[in-house]
Chain A
Amino acid sequence: MVSRREFLQATAAAAAIAAASGLGPLGRAAAQQKLAQSDILRFDPLGTLTILHVTDIHAQLMPLHFREPSINLGVGPARGQPPHLVDAEFRAHFKIAAGSADAFALTSDDFVALAKTYGRMGGLDRVATLVKAVRAERGDDKVLLLDGGDTWQGSWSSLQTKGQDMVDVMSALKTDAMVGHWEFTLGAERVKEIAESAPFAFLAQNIRDREWNEPVFPPRKVFEKGGVKVAVIGQALPRTAIANPRWMFPDWEFGIREEEIQKQVDEARAEGAAAVVLLSHNGFDVDKKLASRVKGLDIILTAHTHDAMPGLIRVGDTVLVGSGSHGKFVSRLDIAIKDGKLADIRFKLMPVFSDAIAPDADMAALISKVRAPYAADLAKEIGRTDSLLYRRGNFNGTFDDLICEAMLEQRDAEIALSPGFRWGGTLLPGDAITWEAITNATAMTYPNCYRNEMTGAQLKEILEDVADNIFHPDPYFQGGGDMVRIGGMGYAIDVGKPMGSRISGLTHLKSGQPIDAARKYVVAGWASVNEGTQGPPIWDVVRNHVAARKTVSIRPNDAVKVSGA
């Protein structure tokens, strides 16, 4: 077994100095200290090269709330290791004080109270302020801005413009290179069209055309910054053709293609690259395994799994960076090169507190412009929520509970299935549910809400299959997001068991009866990867439900019993 030495490099100013000392509610007030823009930007510079990394923005141009998961289980070698730590364990590992700004940004407990203190995060006009400040400090010729993908999908305006709003904004941000995953759900032609005309490089070493096995996109690009040659190798989500509709890019094949990455590294070194970076959309656990097997990668900028970590994770001679999602963070890495090799790295995960950072005026104007055609619709209040509505977590989220409830009622179904997507904002109790909030959780290119029959046996098989995509102990065999969300049915899962024996105790919640393997149930769901799926778009289903309810209350969901973690 390759050793997985991991250590945390101390982070700079933004990380709270106080250790996680189990501050109770009384101590919390003392710990609560808002950060100023200067605190967020404070950095002791190193070397002549700076890399900035943003990822999984999911088309969120505006500041929002995004609650990090309270359940994020790791299996196999990832068990109990970062990023599979939440709340108190996460804070203890990264030395973050309860109640601090970082605790709010990075953990989930006490979210509602802390949200009121610290406000929304993200907003690409704020991100622009940080990026411009770093460029001004270091010099334009020393800074490389890299985007880990899942940038063009996740909002109503990005759906309506086929990603153009995000392309315009990311171009104005002077992004140097990006990779993709959800981008591909705009269809092969559209992605090629953007990639060929955009001012940034669209890289993917692991996408090949099916017929000739030739690369569809450039695999890497070498940049010269601060007198240093940096090679950036692009890696798209290897499981895109499984996780998303293959018919949208029928001529492409993906895969991890580890040996090809090694070739890219070796070629880049032969060309004189002093630093080699993998701009990856593999997901954290896949990248961690990959780092132990591919030699010569200095840095892996991770994505897909939305992990935000205020420290570097080291595997052998490679460091891994997790820059979060939804525009909440910008990672800064300063790199010193000595004798043509990487000698030292200094890192900071900059939290984008929207109340602390002054919006960049040019970017704010551009964002207003691209949103203008949709602004009136987006602001429309459909209803309100009494409950905290969030998405992330391995088994359920209250926003997903709302979507499942909408499908059960609007589609007159016994059971509802909603995919374990990790994107979409969080609403606080008392918030309005606007059209923007609904579409932030649903906007995508295969939204049809189907209604058909499945047997109990088929339902169990689906759960087993999806569970194996998440809890297979070898990350190279993992494929999906979080567990499929279920409305109207409960189950038990032992995540430590092998494929086919994790799921038990399927129960029809309304009747309290066990699910009958042979009986057919009426099931509603959305985001089918099958071409030609029939049904209304999910956003209309959710809108109609919220409008009918006026005020939404989601009860705590205890329908999934988890063991083996």
Chain B
Amino acid sequence: MPFQIAGLTRRSTLTAGALAAFASLLGSRLAFADEKAVMAEIKKLYGDKPLGEGKIKLDVPEIAENGLVVPVNVEVESPMTEADYVKAVHIYADGNPQPGIVSYSFTPACGKASAATRMRLAQTQNIVCVAEMSNGALHMAKANVKVTIGGCGG
């Protein structure tokens, strides 16, 4: 199992249901991060290294059933040997006040590079995952999660 390193802040901005009509996410006045803020976080860790595609399987729901606890599963393709393994996985959300969700470190002893957690999402946004391989290569994957008001289901 991977262990979770002292995390980046996971902060929620879910405002209390403002409207009785719907499980509402409306009415928030907090400042949200954006794609640039996520890229800035990645740059802090890895500078201008290129971000490749592939290798990462990022599994998030298309629509969050509960914005307070949205499941995220990530698995990175790797033999996980001394010569070739996944060193770290970082997950970001580009629509929360703080973009960092969680970072995981792995060793070859982990056997496979997979992790699952739950995150709070304030609004519809992209989840970005970056994997650092033992040879220094970086991979990135992105998925959109919709956070919607409830009700009105036919």
Binding site for B on A (CB under 8 A): 181, 210, 237, 239-246, 253-256, 304-306, 417, 419-423, 450, 452, 454, 458, 461-462, 465-466, 468-469, 472, 474, 476-477, 479-482, 484, 499, 523, 525, 527-530, 533-534
Contacting residues, chain A, for B17 (C-beta < 8 A): 530
Q: Are A529 and B23 in contact (CB under 8 A)?
A: yes
Given contacts A246-B65, A481-B153, A528-B22, 4 further A-B contacts (CB under 8 A): A419-B154, A454-B21, A476-B62, A527-B152
Measured between C-beta atoms, what is the minimum distance from B20 to chain A in Å? 5
Take A458-B27, A466-B152, A479-B148 as given contacts and tell me if A452 and B19 are in contact as well, using a CB distance cutoff of 8 Å: yes
Q: Are A481 and B152 in contact (CB under 8 A)?
A: yes
Question: B137 at the A/B interface (Cβ < 8 Å)?
Answer: no
Contacting residues, chain A, for B154 (C-beta < 8 A): 243, 304-306, 419-423, 480-482
Q: Are B23 and A469 in contact (CB under 8 A)?
A: no
Q: Are A530 and B148 in contact (CB under 8 A)?
A: no
Measured between C-beta atoms, what is the minimum distance from B94 to chain A in Å? 16
Q: How far is the CA of A129 from the CA of B80 in the complex (A)?
A: 63
Residues of B21-80 at the interface with A, using a CB-CB cut-off of 8 Å, are: 21-24, 26-27, 61-63, 65-66, 69, 71
Residues of B80-126 at the interface with A, using a CB-CB cut-off of 8 Å, are: 124
Give the contacting residue for B21; candidates A423, A472, A474, A523; CB below 8 A: A523
A–B pairs, 28, beta carbons within 8 Å: A239-B63, A239-B65, A241-B65, A245-B150, A246-B23, A253-B71, A306-B154, A419-B153, A420-B152, A421-B154, A450-B21, A452-B20, A452-B21, A454-B19, A458-B18, A458-B19, A458-B24, A465-B149, A474-B62, A477-B62, A477-B63, A477-B146, A479-B148, A480-B151, A484-B152, A527-B151, A530-B20, A530-B21
The CB with the most chain B CB atoms within 10 A, among A452, A476, A528, is that of: A528
The CB with the most chain A CB atoms within 10 A, among B22, B23, B146, B154, is that of: B154
Contacting residues, chain A, for B63 (C-beta < 8 A): 239, 242, 477, 479
Contacting residues, chain A, for B24 (C-beta < 8 A): 458
Contacting residues, chain A, for B23 (C-beta < 8 A): 246, 529-530
Q: How far is the CA of A304 from the CA of B153 in the complex (A)?
A: 10
Measured between C-beta atoms, what is the minimum distance from B150 to chain A in Å? 4
Q: Are B22 and A462 in contact (CB under 8 A)?
A: yes
Measured between C-beta atoms, what is the minimum distance from B126 to chain A in Å? 13
Measured between C-beta atoms, what is the minimum distance from B152 to chain A in Å? 4
The CB with the most chain A CB atoms within 10 A, among B18, B21, B62, B149, is that of: B21
Binding site for A on B (CB under 8 A): 17-24, 26-27, 61-63, 65-66, 69, 71, 124, 146, 148-154
Measured between C-beta atoms, what is the minimum distance from A534 to chain B in Å? 8
Q: Are A528 and B20 in contact (CB under 8 A)?
A: yes
Take A255-B65, A461-B26, A476-B62 as given contacts and tell me if A419 and B151 are in contact as well, using a CB distance cutoff of 8 Å: yes
Q: How far is the CA of A161 from the CA of B102 in the complex (A)?
A: 48
Measured between C-beta atoms, what is the minimum distance from B39 to chain A in Å? 23
Q: Name which residue of chain A comes closest to B148, CB basis.
A: A465
Measured between C-beta atoms, what is the minimum distance from B1 to chain A in Å? 16
Contacting residues, chain A, for B69 (C-beta < 8 A): 210
10 A-B pairs with least C-beta separation: A481-B154, A243-B153, A241-B65, A529-B150, A422-B154, A419-B152, A529-B151, A480-B152, A476-B62, A465-B149
Q: How far is the CA of A434 from the CA of B13 in the complex (A)?
A: 47
Measured between C-beta atoms, what is the minimum distance from B153 to chain A in Å? 2
Q: How far is the CA of A479 from the CA of B124 in the complex (A)?
A: 14
Q: Name which residue of chain B comes closest to A56, CB basis.
A: B154
Contacting residues, chain A, for B62 (C-beta < 8 A): 256, 474, 476-477
Take A255-B61, A256-B62, A479-B63 as given contacts and tell me if A242 and B153 are in contact as well, using a CB distance cutoff of 8 Å: yes
Q: How far is the CA of A255 from the CA of B146 in the complex (A)?
A: 13
Q: Are A417 and B21 in contact (CB under 8 A)?
A: yes
Q: Name which residue of chain B comes closest to A527, CB basis.
A: B151
Q: How far is the CA of A272 from the CA of B96 in the complex (A)?
A: 48
Q: Are A525 and B21 in contact (CB under 8 A)?
A: yes
Measured between C-beta atoms, what is the minimum distance from B69 to chain A in Å? 8
Contacting residues, chain A, for B149 (C-beta < 8 A): 462, 465-466
Take A255-B61, A476-B62, A528-B20 as given contacts and tell me if A468 and B148 are in contact as well, using a CB distance cutoff of 8 Å: yes
Q: Name which residue of chain A comes closest to B118, CB basis.
A: A210
Contacting residues, chain B, for A499 (C-beta < 8 A): 124
Q: Name which residue of chain B comes closest to A455, CB basis.
A: B27
Measured between C-beta atoms, what is the minimum distance from A445 to chain B in Å? 14
Contacting residues, chain A, for B150 (C-beta < 8 A): 242-246, 529
Contacting residues, chain B, for A468 (C-beta < 8 A): 146, 148
Q: How far is the CA of A446 from the CA of B76 in the complex (A)?
A: 44
Q: Are A458 and B61 in contact (CB under 8 A)?
A: no
Q: How far is the CA of A533 from the CA of B17 in the complex (A)?
A: 12
Measured between C-beta atoms, what is the minimum distance from A308 to chain B in Å? 15
Give the contacting residue for A242; candidates B21, B26, B65, B71; CB below 8 A: B65
Contacting residues, chain A, for B146 (C-beta < 8 A): 468, 472, 477
Give the contacting residue for B153; candidates A244, A454, A472; CB below 8 A: A244
Q: How far is the CA of A210 from the CA of B69 in the complex (A)?
A: 10
The CB with the most chain B CB atoms within 10 A, among A237, A254, A423, A461, is that of: A461
Contacting residues, chain B, for A254 (C-beta < 8 A): 65
Measured between C-beta atoms, what is the minimum distance from B143 to chain A in Å? 12
Contacting residues, chain A, for B27 (C-beta < 8 A): 458
Q: Are A253 and B148 in contact (CB under 8 A)?
A: no
Q: Are B151 and A241 in contact (CB under 8 A)?
A: no
Q: Are B21 and A462 in contact (CB under 8 A)?
A: yes
Take A458-B27, A477-B63, A482-B154 as given contacts and tell me if A242 and B148 are in contact as well, using a CB distance cutoff of 8 Å: yes
Q: Are B19 and A253 in contact (CB under 8 A)?
A: no
Measured between C-beta atoms, what is the minimum distance from A484 to chain B in Å? 5
Contacting residues, chain B, for A530 (C-beta < 8 A): 17, 20-23
Q: How far is the CA of A304 from the CA of B69 in the complex (A)?
A: 27
Give the contacting residue for A239; candidates B66, B71, B153; CB below 8 A: B153
